[in-house]
Amino acid sequence: MAELPIVKIVVYSRRFGADEIVLYTSMPSPFLAGVDDEPLSISFRASKDTGLQYVLDNFPSAPEVWTQDTEAGDGKQERIK
């Protein structure tokens, strides 16, 4: 089995609700050329305030960590690590 070529990991720690973890890869998009030319990314959720520890326990590289204040619906983000 081949390893997933991860180039960056981001944890979005939300004020309310589950954390979101996004794995950015160097794999090509699964869509046809011209539809989506961005490399493949995979996202999943973790219980609130557990996303960072999940990544640290299960992946070899440290993630970027961003807070998301979604209470006001403004989508404001702040990088914290």
pLDDT at 72: 45
Q: Give residue-wise pLDDT tens across range 28-67.
A: 888 776 777 789 999 999 999 999 999 999 999 899 999 8
DSSP H helical ranges for the chain: 51-58
- pTM for this structure? 0.79
> Which pLDDT score, from 0 to 100, does residue 76 have?
56
Average pLDDT over residues 8-12: 95
DSSP H or E segment with residue 19:
strand 19-25
> Which domains occur in the chain, in start order?
6-73 (3.30.160)
What 8-state DSSP symbol labels residue 72?
A: S
